[in-house]
Amino acid sequence: MSFLNRLLFISFEVSEEVIDLVKIITICAIAAVIVILFILHRTKSIMDTRTIVFAAISIALSFALSFIKISMPFGGSVTFASFVPILIFSYFYGPLRGLLAGIVYGLLQFIQDSWFLTPVQFILDYVLAFSSIALAGAFKNVLSEKAGVIVGAASVGVVRFIMHILAGIIFFKAGYIIEGLPASSALLYSTAYNAIYVVPDILISIGVIVFMLYGGYYKSLGDIMKKRQ
């Protein structure tokens, strides 16, 4: 139990050296994903050249947009629709490809702005939260096109929000963000804290998606991405 508590709630001695080590591991993980993509490309079972190119473009665009942001005092930021490119990629290329793109993007987010307290917090904040991208096309064949896109994007936002809340509980229980807050109210504090930046960030992305849908840009972009030569 003590080991489990340490993984979940008790802060390690987080020094710059620890952060640098985790960054190195993260870079290695990204390299491993790239190798996996290359192997899948060679087998042509999941990733062809066109898919890899659009995945790279989508991740790069999302990463670039994530630098246009309003940073919050205790961490987190509201970006300018940084989720939109990878949401579009996941919708048109499916959940598995979207999952891989989301994981790579999440790891890049850690390299960009590192918040590390425990391994579980890292997985929640940077792996599972961004893996939610895989849900972008979950309602593609269930609802109408516009409804499917919007509900899918909203589902991504909800799952991301939940993952950040769970990670935030670890931060609040450890007294890392604000000292002296009662640990018993960690869920309430984490929900309020994450709502300040995650919810606006999600709504901005959904707003841009809606604009693209009703402006005809979404379908046109999809036609380009899925075109077969």
Q: What is the pLDDT of residues 173-222, one digit of tens each?
A: 765 656 666 666 788 888 988 999 999 999 999 999 999 999 988 888 88
Q: Which pTM does this prediction carry?
A: 0.80
Best-predicted range by mean pLDDT (9-23, 161-175, 178-192): 161-175
User: Which residue from 117, 90, 160, 84 is spatially nearest to 13, judged by alpha carbons?
Assistant: 117
Q: Would you tell me which CATH number, out of the four given (3.50.30.40, 1.10.1760.20, 3.40.190.10, 3.10.580.10), belongs to the domain 2-225?
A: 1.10.1760.20
- CA angle, corner 145, sides to 140 and 149, nearest 5? 65
- Cα gap 181→183, rounded to integer Å: 6
pLDDT of residue 4: 46
- Please indicate whether residue 3 or residue 109 has the higher confidence score (pLDDT): 109
Longest dimension (CA), the chain: 62
pLDDT of residue 111: 82
CA pseudo-torsion sign 19, 23, 29, 30:
positive
Q: How far is CA 107 from CA 59, 101, 149, 173, in A?
A: 11, 10, 25, 24
Residue spans of the domains in the chain: they are: 2-225
